[in-house]
Structure 1
Amino acid sequence: MRNSSRGAVDAFIVMDVMEAARAAEAAGRHIVHMEVGQPSSPAPAQARAVLAETMKTDPLGYTVALGLPALRARIARLYGEWYDVDLDPARVVVTPGSSGGFILAFTALFDAGDRVVAGRPGYPSYRQILKALNLEPVEVQASAENGYQLVPEDLAGLDYQGLMMASPANPTGTMLDRAQLGAMIGACQEAGAAFLSDEIYHGIEYDQRAVTALELSDDVCVINSFSKYFSMTGWRVGWLVVPEAQIRQVERLAQNFFICPPHAAQVAALAALDAREELDANLAVYKRNRALMLEGLPKAGFDRIAPPDGAFYVYADVSHLTSDSHAFAAEILDKAGVAVTPGLDFDPDRGKGTLRFSYAQGTAEIEEGLDRLRRFMAARG
């Protein structure tokens, strides 16, 4: 059986690190997980209770392709609560996680061969999904001076049909303020390109509120998910907000690609939207963990970091410690029992000298991980 060239995408390195950590745990070791953006908290109790009750009487079959109308309406209302944006629920599309949203958005907006810009470092699946769809990822190195976020000058002279931005970003946690985001939307639209805003980490912010692209323009595509702030990674439910002109196109694609998002996950997601007290308690844990990381990582020797404005990651320059972040991460796992992600996932060039540390776990685990890292680096000399 032959393989397609479209399927020849790179492995997602963090998943390989997770597997190595799992194997170590299976062998009896205790591993501190700083490799993956996996909240330690479960889906909100209210969401789980509502789903359990629903399952007693509802067969949970197919829903319409765009998602449960009640969920779409509640997501639209969220934009009023968080951003003072009056959003038409018809523009909301419920998806099988943000990954399903990327597939729908890229397929609806671009033709084969179109060029889509994304910054480096950045979420690696942008690149791989684009490749698999016969689209051309155009990755542009963002500078540390700009918080590893692209600025309009970075787009000068580029030929592109789309631009993907994330704020807060993965792997850095840095954010764009209103003026910065507006400048990027303006530069993109001036070039006649589609602007896509990955807002999956909205809700996990510390000193300032994240800005949604919808505050600045209706002619944008927003991707979001219940995975991070709502602690529902494995439920595989997210959403798109698309311009009115794209609704029917996205609907036809969703009908054929996915039929519908998982019904059970949609029921839980609807209830999760009203679980603010529990979710904000989770945010308080991330805030405490962030403070511990910003204090503890430099003490351990990881002192070249981009302080995160949001999300739950710290991106560290370790080029003074290694020229092979993959081998360095493996050494840390083996000798310290801490799983971290090599930066190669996020930047195949500069990533040889970077690591990403996640602080999404419980505070006790973060404290233990930092202590292990400190002792590891002291022994390493």
Structure 2
Amino acid sequence: MRNSTRGTVDPFIVMDVMEAARQAEDAGRHIIHMEVGQPGTPAPAAARDALARAMSDDALGYTVALGLPALRKRIAKLYGDWYNVDLDPARVVVTPGSSGGFILAFSALFDAGDTIVLGAPGYPSYRQIMKAMNIAPLEVETRAENRLQLVPADLAGLSYQGAMVASPANPSGTMLDRDALSALIDTVQGQGASFLSDEIYHGIEYDRPAVTALEISEDVCVINSFSKYFSMTGWRAGWLVLPEENLRQVERLAQNMFICAPHASQVAALAAMDAGEELEANMAVYRANRALMLEGLPKAGFDRIAPPDGAFYVYADVSHLTDDSRAFAREILDEAGVAVTPGLDFDPARGGGTLRFSYARSTADIAEGLERLTRFMRARGFVE
């Protein structure tokens, strides 16, 4: 049977790294996981308890396509609590993870052949989903002096129908402040294009809070998820916030593409949103891990980094050490027992000289991983 041309997308390299790490573990090795952006903590206890009760008491069937009304209302309340934004729950759409949100947003807002601007480095699945939908990703190389974020000057002279940014970003963890985000939104909307804001790492911030695009404009599409701050990666629950005029289009698409987000996950997500004490305990771990990474990575020879404002990644320039980050990451896995992600996932043009380190796991694992990395780099003669 033939393959479609639009289905010919690149692999998600971090998943290949995960598989190689799994094989090493199956062979009896102890691997420190710094490759995947998955919290080392489970879903909050309140979420798991709520699901257990629902499984005993209720039939978990289809929900309406836009999601449980109580969950949409609670998500809208979050915008008031976190950002002082008065959000109508009717504008919230519950999705099967942020990935389902991307598919719905791209389907509703863009036609085949349209172009969406992305900053590089950036989350690789953006461009792969777009390619599979016959939408053209236009990747613009961001610069270190702009902390690897797009700025309006990067868009000058380009033709596009949309632009997407993430703040905090994956892989860098850098954020846009209100003025910088506002300038980008104004630039994109000034071209008559749609602005999409990936806010999946909101809540995981360190020195200052993240800014939602909804503080600046109602005419934006916001994508978020319960995966990161709420520690619910495998539950596949996320949400969109859309302008009112786009809702019916998205609803019809959701009805046909997904029917609804998983009912069980929606029940758990609703309870997770009120698990503040447990979620803040997770943040204490991330803060401790970030401090360890910012101190330990330079000592291990990875000293060309953009200090992360949020998320749980450090993106390192290793072009002085290698031009093949994939092979280098494999050597680190094989020799040091630490799984890290090659930058080729995030920046096909320059990623041969970068690595991403995740610090989402336990503090003990992060400390052990840094020790192993230091020994590896010392054996290679990169550090004394």
Q: Which amino acid aligns with 1:86?
A: D
Q: Deviations over 1:210-249 (max 9, x none)?
A: 0000000000000000000000000000000000000000
Match of residue 261 from structure 1 = 261
Q: TM-score, normalised by structure 2?
A: 0.99
SS in 1 for 2:56: coil
Q: Match of 2:304?
A: 304
* 1:285 corresponds to 2:285: yes
Report the alpha carbon displacement of residue 316 of structure 1 after superposing the two structures with TM: 0.1
Match of 2:316 in 1: 316
Q: 1:140, 1:362 → 2: CA distance?
A: 35
Shift of 1:36: 0.4
Q: What's the CA shift string for 1:110-141, capped at 9, x where partnerless?
A: 00000000000000000000000000000000
In the alignment, which residue of structure 1 is the partner of 2:347?
347
The residue aligned with 2:35 is 35
> How many pairs are equivalent?
381
Report what 2:377 is aligned to: 377
Give, in whole Å, the separation in 2 of the partners of 1:283 and 1:145: 28
Q: Secondary structure at the match of 2:41?
A: coil
Give the distance between the partners of 2:235 and 2:28, measured in 1 at CA.
28
- Which amino acid in 2 is paired with 1:340? V
Q: Percent identity?
A: 79
1: distance between equivalents of 2:43 and 2:208? 25
Cα offset, 1:166, TM superposition: 0.3
Secondary structure of the corresponding residue to residue 230 of structure 1:
coil
Distance of 1:284 and 1:246 partners within structure 2: 38
Deviations 1:329-380 (A, max 9, x none): 0000000000000000000011000000000000000000000000000011
Matches within 5 A, 1:126-275: 126-275=126-275
Give unpaired runs (5+ residues) of structure 2: none
The correspondence of residues 61-100 of structure 1 with structure 2, limited to 5 A, is 61-100=61-100
Q: How far has the Cα of 1:307 moved from its partner? A: 0.3
Which amino acid counterpart does residue 19 of structure 1 have in structure 2?
A: E
Q: Which amino acid aligns with 1:21?
A: A
> What is the one-letter code of the residue matched to 1:30?
H
Structure 1 residue 154: Cα displacement: 0.2
Rounded to whole Å, the distance in 2 between the matches of 1:311 and 1:56 is: 36
Paired with 1:2 and 1:320, the residues of 2 have a C-alpha distance of: 43
**Structure 2 Cα separation of the partners of residues 212 and 24 of structure 1:** 41
Deviation at 1:173, TM superposition (A): 0.0
Cα displacement (A) at 1:13? 0.1
SS at match of 1:24: helix
Residue identity matched to 1:214: L
Deviation beyond 4 Å, 4+ runs, structure 1:
none
Task: Give, in angstroms, the shift of residue 59 of structure 1.
Answer: 1.1
Give 1:54 deviation, angstroms: 1.1
Q: RMSD of the TM alignment (CA)? A: 0.3
Q: Which residue matches 2:8? A: 8
- The answer to whether structure 1 residue 46 and structure 2 residue 56 are counterparts is no
What is the rounded CA distance, in whole Å, between the counterparts of 1:53 and 1:266 in structure 2?
13
Q: For the residues of structure 1 that align with 2:54 and 2:153, how far apart are their CA atoms?
A: 52
* Cα shift readout 1:138-176 (whole Å, capped 9, x = no counterpart): 000000110000000000000000000000000000000
Q: Which amino acid aligns with 1:254?
A: A
Alignment of 1:358-369 (within 5 A): 358-369=358-369
TM-score, normalised via structure 1 length: 1.00
